[in-house]
């Protein structure tokens, strides 16, 4: 499973703790000189000053050995770019963004991770190969949670993985929906995988660990500091084919994740909701944004997969459309049908006057209407049948 040598893994473990993740400068330098040389230089305070400043006082420590041991003891591991398990295809978008010099401070920089601490039985690259991010507000409504669980369930039964952040609200509903469908789900954390946050989700995280994964850029023991969530959000967008915002307030982290997904060339989707709900305002804003690649409105797992799936493999069924017997009628036939009274039958001439056509028109269309069971001859005239009355055209 792993090809990264022990020294490379140890160096990357050291880097994930010594330098707060999210720095494009550090990532470029590590790519240039290699992880071992980079870690050695920083530890010896021999790196270029700008990079040395990123490590700050942390450069003096070395907890890489204990961190890897601690991970090993709880069934976790550090997956590095040198491993087969590294989700290279998915994270390529971050490499491209960094190469293009995507601007932004550390919390918004679209930079690849130096390594990913992973806990759980699934293989990371396979787990995220066909995956969708479901994100949204922590202060979700019952509606939003229902939809999140329903989407995750539908994605899971179609063989797709749901990725989210493990937070209260929409995130949790998404993970639970995936678990209810008996599939794996991936939680991308902003803290160590040994202390998943929030603590109230301990049981949920235990269930995730049966089939799925907890993933983090931060080594074991790291706390879920606020700024880390912002850095983490790019990973949720990057690891998946597309991001669905289920519920979001007007100013929310979910919207930020959404915009990052779009910047990375991923499919951005949003679930609509009642316009009276504050928790759908963020979704509606995304759907109203003018853009070359506007957010796509989705209402079902099938529609999500139609947007992110491989062409031809995941097409949604067209919405079922009921057709009535009126649909095949000509304009004149419809008018004659509408002209037929319910009780006492009337003559073709009278029908012509009501329908606004000639008597010949009436005689021409009556046989077809009768054959379709829509009108009947009473012995003295024509009237509509029960079926003709209930044949539902779109009125109004």
DSSP secondary structure code for residue 346 in this structure: B
- CB nearer to a copy of itself: give 74 or 223: 223
Q: How far is the CB of 260 from a copy of itself (least distance, A)?
A: 12
Determine the Cα–Cα distance for residues 166 and 171; give it in Å rounded to an integer.
5
Q: What is the b/e burial string over 138-169, where b = at least 16 CB atoms within 10 angstroms of the residue's CB? A: bebbebbbebbbbbbbbbbebebbbbbbbbeb
Burial 226-260 (b: 16+ CB within 10 A, else e): eebbbbbbbbbbbbbbbbbbbbbbeebbbbbbbbb
User: Least distance from C-beta 181 to a copy of itself, angstroms?
Assistant: 18
Nearer of residues 262 and 284 to a copy of itself, judged by Cβ: 284
Omega before 198 within 30 of 0, i.e. cis: yes
Q: Which is nearer to a copy of itself, 2 or 325 (CB)?
A: 325
Nearer to a copy of itself, 61 or 72 (CB): 61
Q: Which are the contacts of 396, defined by CB distance < 8 A and separation ≥ 6? A: none
- Spatial neighbors of 328 by CB under 8 A, at least 6 apart, are none
Q: How far is the CB of 23 from a copy of itself (least distance, A)?
A: 10
276: Cβ–Cβ under 8 A, 6 or more apart, which residues?
none
Query: Vertex 317, ends 312 and 318: CA angle to 5°?
Result: 115
Q: Any bridge partners for residue 152, and if so which?
A: none
Starting at the edge strand that comes first in sequence, how are the strands of the sheet with 213-216 ordered?
76-79, 116-119, 213-216, 185-188, 161-164, 131-136, 242-247, 267-270, 296-297
Residue 230 CB, nearest distance to a copy of itself (Å)?
Answer: 7
- Least distance to a copy of itself, CB of residue 119, Å: 19
What is the nearest approach in angstroms of a copy of itself to the Cβ of residue 120?
20
Residue number with CB closer to a copy of itself (123 or 146): 146
Instruction: Kindly calculate the radius of gyration of the chain based on its CA atoms and give it in whole angstroms.
Output: 30
User: Is the CB of 57 or the CB of 100 nearer to a copy of itself?
Assistant: 57
Min dist. Cβ of residue 137 to a copy of itself (A)? 9
Residue carrying the six token digits 């504050």 = 278
Residue nearer to a copy of itself on the CB measure, 237 or 357: 357
Closest approach of a copy of itself to the CB of residue 352, in Å? 4
Q: Whose Cβ is closer to a copy of itself: residue 356's or residue 373's?
A: 356
């Amino acid at each position: 499973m792993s090809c990264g040598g022990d020294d490379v893994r140890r160096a990357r473990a050291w880097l994930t703790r010594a330098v707060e993740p999210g720095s494009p400068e550090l990532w470029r330098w590590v790519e240039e000189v290699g992880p071992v040389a980079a870690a050695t230089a920083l530890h010896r305070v021999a790196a270029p000053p700008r990079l040395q400043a990123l490590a700050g006082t942390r450069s003096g420590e070395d907890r890489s050995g204990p961190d890897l041991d601690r991970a090993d003891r709880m069934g976790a591991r550090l997956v590095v770019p040198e491993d087969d398990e590294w989700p290279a295809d998915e994270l390529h978008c971050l490499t491209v963004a960094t190469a293009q010099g995507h601007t932004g401070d550390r919390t918004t920089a679209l930079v690849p991770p130096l390594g990913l601490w992973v806990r759980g039985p699934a293989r990371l690259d396979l787990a995220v190969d066909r995956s969708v991010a479901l994100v949204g507000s922590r202060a979700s409504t019952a509606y939003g949670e229902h939809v999140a669980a329903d989407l995750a369930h539908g994605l899971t039964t179609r063989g797709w993985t749901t990725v989210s952040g493990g937070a209260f609200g929409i995130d949790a509903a998404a993970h639970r929906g995936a678990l209810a469908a008996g599939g794996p789900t991936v939680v991308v954390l902003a803290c160590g995988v040994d202390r998943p946050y929030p603590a109230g989700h301990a049981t949920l995280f235990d269930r995730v660990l049966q089939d799925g994964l907890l993933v983090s850029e931060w080594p074991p023991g790291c706390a879920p500091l606020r700024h880390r969530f912002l850095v983490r959000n790019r990973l949720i967008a990057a690891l998946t084919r597309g991001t669905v915002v289920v519920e979001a307030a007007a100013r929310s982290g979910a919207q930020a994740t959404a915009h990052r997904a779009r910047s990375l060339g991923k499919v951005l989707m949003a679930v609509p909701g009642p316009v009276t709900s504050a928790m759908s305002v963020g979704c509606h804003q995304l759907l109203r944004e003018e853009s070359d690649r506007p957010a796509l409105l989705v209402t079902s797992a099938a529609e999500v997969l139609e947007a992110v799936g491989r062409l031809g493999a995941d097409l949604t069924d067209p919405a079922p459309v009921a057709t009535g017997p009126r649909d095949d009628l000509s304009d004149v036939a419809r008018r004659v049908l509408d002209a037929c009274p319910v009780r006492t039958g009337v003559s073709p001439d009278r029908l012509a006057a009501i329908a606004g056509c000639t008597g010949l028109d009436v005689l021409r269309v009556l046989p077809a209407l009768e054959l379709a069971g829509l009108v009947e001859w009473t012995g003295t005239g024509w009237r509509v049948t029960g079926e003709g009355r209930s044949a539902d055209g779109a009125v109004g």
